[in-house]
A and B are shown apart, each in its own frame.
Chain A
Amino acid sequence: MLNRRAISLLGLGFVLSAPTRPAMAQTAGDRAAAFVKSTGDRLLAAMHGGGSVEDRRKTLGPIIDSAIDVDGIARFCLGRFWKNATADQQKRYTDLFHQVLIGNITSRLGEYQEVKLTIGRSQTRDDNDIVSTVIERPNNPPATVDWVVANAVSSPKVIDVIAENTSLRQTQRNDYAAYLTRNNNDVDALIAAMAAQLTQN
């Protein structure tokens, strides 16, 4: 009898303490994971939503700008050439980079129908939080995608996406560096090539 009461009290204590526990466990890693979850859900909702490609581009734009540090990624991708570029070149390049990124995502919308995103563990590396997720698409093997989140506590932003061990921003940086090296390190040539790419897609 006493035993049963002790157990039920224990259970009650457990239930009462439950709401406070998540608050206690709000580490940077948890916040980063919650941020990736909400961003992923918003992106998927925008992708699944109907409408023309232009409509979806308009919905996706603000989500991408608020959740992803596009300016920072753009600067990273230009690497050592950023410093030597004029302020005007930097501005034109960053604007184009935004459009190219949104264009690349919207052009692949068809592939992301019926996507399932599962949030895994998060870890801290070099002041950033890395949230591991598994993305499942029909007729495709599950893919591991890591999201690198900066400032998880104050103002979280995604600064890199690492799909199956390959970093998107590193790959882009290597692509631009090779293009610039073969075009006399001319940032204007890169800007022209990016603009040409936009009109193609």
Chain B
Amino acid sequence: MDADLRPLPISTTVLLARFWRVLLFAGLLAVVLTGCATPPPADDPEALADYRQTNDPLEPTNRVFYAVNNGLDIVILRPAAQAYRFVVPGAVRTGIHNVLSNLGTPMQLSNDIMQGKPVRAGDTAMRFAINSTVGLIGVFDVATGWGYPNHDTDFGLTLANWGVPDGPFLFLPVLGPSNPRDAAGFGVDLVQDPFTWIGSSTALTVVNWTRFGLNALDSRERYLDPVEQIKKTALDPYATFRSLYRQHREGQIKELRDDRRATVPVWFPQAQPNAAPSPAR
């Protein structure tokens, strides 16, 4: 009887599914309670153009979630990140960051392939092979020095490369600034992550949650100073984060699209798509 009643270890997949259900419910509730942004009157074309460019019809709701996230951050995440910075020496933090980044390479590789970027996919594969072995399970990033640099990628970028527009701005609980495209991309990346599917033993659940927690600490620690600076200098931090998020994503998409490095060997006659057009003679 005792054995039957013991709670089963909750796997990350089950918990994430529950998390999304709660999130969706909270989101719908918030939209119903706070409503949508009021567009400016039609006789003010400049204000209307600004409103369209801002593309944040759910702004009242988004601001509620921004306030909630900010509160949680001040109470939990920021102090935790400050403690992490204070206790763990810089070199160790870099090692932890490298291990976490190395664990993300399978997901990165499948996105590189879906984006149709063979050289990026090659970089990622070499990074995984080199850093997992010579780099001692990813602690040291040897691959960058050997000519295989890291690059940002996720399924949101894959969708963007396929021509999917970002849609209106969203500020999601816990996850922060986003949009429908990137939020969908986040879900797909979880599904693409092999660690989601390995199994549901207690040990693995512990490993997965440790990884999740360390990831949160690691990224928050890296943004401690910039976030502090923005909150101090911005008159409207929410709007500033919204602007920065959009510009950052656009920059990543541009870098991805402009990366047209060829896979032809060096000795083979090269077509050079990246070369500047020759001046007219």
- Give the CA-CA distance A140 to B50 in the complex, in Å: 36
Per-residue A-contact encoding for B219-262, CB less than 8 Å = 1, 0 else: 00000010001001111101110111001101110110000000
B79 within 8 A of A: no
Chain A residues bordering chain B, tally (CB within 8 A): 25
A182 within 8 A of B: yes
Q: Could you tell me if A165 and B243 are in contact, using CB atoms closer than 8 angstroms?
A: no
Smallest Cβ distance from B36 to chain A, in angstroms? 15
B4 within 8 A of A: no
Q: Could you tell me if A170 and B243 are in contact, using CB atoms closer than 8 angstroms?
A: yes
B47 within 8 A of A: yes
Q: Could you tell me if A201 and B244 are in contact, using CB atoms closer than 8 angstroms?
A: no
Q: Which residues in chain B, 83-137, are within 8 Å of chain A measured between CB atoms?
A: 90
B43 within 8 A of A: no
Which B residues touch A139, using CB under 8 A?
90
Contact for B233 among A104, A167, A178, CB less than 8 A: A104
Q: Are A175 and B50 also in contact (CB < 8 A) when A165-B250, A165-B251, A197-B235 are?
A: no
- Give the CA-CA distance A170 to B46 in the complex, in Å: 17
- Give the CA-CA distance A102 to B239 in the complex, in Å: 22
> Interface residues of A: mostly helix, strand, loop or mixed?
helix
A111 within 8 A of B: yes
Chain A residue at smallest Cβ distance from B56: A178
Q: Could you tell me if B239 and A177 are in contact, using CB atoms closer than 8 angstroms?
A: yes
Q: Could you tell me if B235 and A175 are in contact, using CB atoms closer than 8 angstroms?
A: yes
Contact for A165 among B46, B233, B242, B248, CB less than 8 A: B248
Chain B residue at smallest Cβ distance from A166: B247
Contact for A174 among B242, B252, B254, CB less than 8 A: B242
Contact for A171 among B50, B240, B254, CB less than 8 A: B240
Q: Could you tell me if B232 and A175 are in contact, using CB atoms closer than 8 angstroms?
A: no
Per-residue B-contact encoding for A30-42, CB less than 8 Å = 1, 0 else: 0000000000000
Which A residues touch B248, using CB under 8 A?
164-166
Per-residue B-contact encoding for A148-170, CB less than 8 Å = 1, 0 else: 00000000000000001111001
Q: Could you tell me if B239 and A197 are in contact, using CB atoms closer than 8 angstroms?
A: no
Q: Chain B interface (Cβ within 8 Å of chain A)?
A: 46-47, 50, 54, 90, 225, 229, 232-236, 238-240, 242-244, 247-248, 250-252, 254-255
Q: Chain A interface (Cβ within 8 Å of chain B)?
A: 79-80, 104, 108, 111, 139, 164-167, 170-171, 174-179, 182, 190, 193-194, 197, 200-201
A selection of 20 A-B contacts at a CB cut-off of 8 Å is: A80-B50, A108-B229, A164-B248, A165-B247, A166-B243, A166-B244, A166-B248, A171-B240, A171-B243, A174-B54, A174-B243, A175-B234, A175-B243, A177-B50, A177-B54, A178-B235, A179-B239, A182-B236, A197-B235, A200-B232
